[in-house]
A and B are shown apart, each in its own frame.
Chain A
Amino acid sequence: MAAFTPPPLPSDDNRWKIVNGTMRKNGFARHALIETLHTVQQSFGYLDDDAIRFVARSLRVPLSQAYGVVTFYHYFNLKPPGRHTLTICAGTACYIKGADKLLADAEKKLGVKPGKTTGDGEVSLMMARCVGACSRAPVALCDNEVRGELTRAQMIEQLERWTVA
């Protein structure tokens, strides 16, 4: 069998070298798919078709299988995130303490559904299964900062700060 040559990097963007590093560290084994996708998302913020194609070809994973993996795991984004991200925790403790009302308010304020970004690319509205800060429910992550016992007014204020700035 002919020796396998990995495909060339998609561009001279240095971030591809980081992605390649994860694959090399794992000996370009197929099982490194999820690890590598994590590296792509960390480096680029999301996974587009070119990135998935590059990783799949490099690891010799069928394209459809790679796409199946990307879309199975909700942590992976196929679209670039907004400049800011509001992630509302959808865990049980948060739900019992009114996270659904926070979500409804956020949807109304931003005019987007969870998983989507506002048209101007400013704010992404996301939901997390549970961030493990249940004792301070309801919880939301404002650009990765944990905000416990968040009130609707505080949340709206935060969103306004983002959209005005």
Chain B
Amino acid sequence: MSAENDVRTLTIDEQEVSARPGQTILEVARENGINIPTLCHLDGLSDVGACRLCLVEIKGSNKLLPACVATVQEGMEVSTDTERLRRHRRTILELLFAERNHVCSVCVSNGHCELQAMAQEQGLTHVRLPYRYAKFDVDASHDRFTADHNRCILCLRCVRACAEIEGAHVWDVMGRGIDCLVITDLHEQWGNSTCTRCGKCVQVCPTGALFEKSKIGTERPKDPQFLPYLNLMREAQ
């Protein structure tokens, strides 16, 4: 195949961009400085297309595509910021805020929470939907970390980091639908589980659901930047 065939040309928000075949719309957009909101995506982890915030419009199709998994096609015309998409994004965020108990003012992640930042970015000023007020457990059994399920948005980054990067697969999700819950082992206390205490899950958690006990009250945000680095090192081996 010639080199020319290995380039795809498309437009994202009317900006002409080129991409390698197999790249996702999200990758290409970010390479070109175009922001597409995401929550479940994290560089270095597999993509699941679950949060639906990165949905984009493709000209000629009524179907919305998740930019994190949809790959580029020649001649594609992508829109990432239409009124229709903005509405869906606000509704999705509203659904998250109403689903569990996200009270920013008393949250350890206040000020450096991805959900909070996303709400500000998307201009979500109030939640019209009724809050569900379901009470969730706080698991403080681990000597270093705490899991507060009230703040969990089920992005499953912790599950993927533990299985894909640490290779321990201590976390997974139980139940289904609105009753889903991330668990360690057989829904046992985190402190009594097979956890390797590496802390990767905590670093990749976008909200205050998983946090380090010693960091409460400090202004240090989480840092998931180690993931691409770890993957690079692994590939180099």
Q: List residues of A whose CB falls within 8 A of some B CB.
A: 49, 52-53, 62-68, 71-72
Checking A49, A65, A71 against B169 with a beta-carbon cut-off of 8 angstroms, the contacting residue is: A65
Decide: B170 and A62 in contact? CB cutoff 8 A: yes
Checking A53, A62, A64, A71 against B175 with a beta-carbon cut-off of 8 angstroms, the contacting residue is: A71
Q: Is the interface of B mostly helix, strand, loop or mixed?
A: loop
Closest to A66 in B: B186
Decide: B186 and A62 in contact? CB cutoff 8 A: no
B93 at the interface (CB under 8 A from A): no
Q: A67-B185, A67-B187 are in contact. Are A62 and B176 (CB under 8 A)?
A: no
- Roughly how many angstroms separate A68 CA and B187 CA in the complex, as a whole number? 9
B118 at the interface (CB under 8 A from A): no
Given A64-B169, A64-B183, 7 further pairs, Cβ under 8 A? A62-B170, A64-B172, A64-B174, A64-B184, A64-B185, A67-B183, A71-B175
Chain A residues whose CB sits within 8 angstroms of the CB of B173 once the complex forms: 68
Chain A: minimal CB distance from B149 (Å)? 15
| Number of B interface residues in the complex (CB < 8 A) | 16
B171 at the interface (CB under 8 A from A): yes
Decide: A52 and B186 in contact? CB cutoff 8 A: yes
21 A-B contact pairs sorted by A residue (CB < 8 Å): A52-B186, A62-B168, A62-B169, A62-B170, A63-B185, A63-B186, A64-B169, A64-B170, A64-B174, A64-B186, A65-B169, A67-B172, A67-B183, A67-B185, A67-B186, A68-B174, A71-B174, A71-B176, A72-B174, A72-B175, A72-B176
Chain A residues whose CB sits within 8 angstroms of the CB of B163 once the complex forms: 62
B122 at the interface (CB under 8 A from A): no
- B153-183 interface (Cβ within 8 A of A): 163, 168-176, 183
Chain B: minimal CB distance from A151 (Å)? 33
Chain B residues whose CB sits within 8 angstroms of the CB of A68 once the complex forms: 172-174, 183
Chain B: minimal CB distance from A98 (Å)? 26
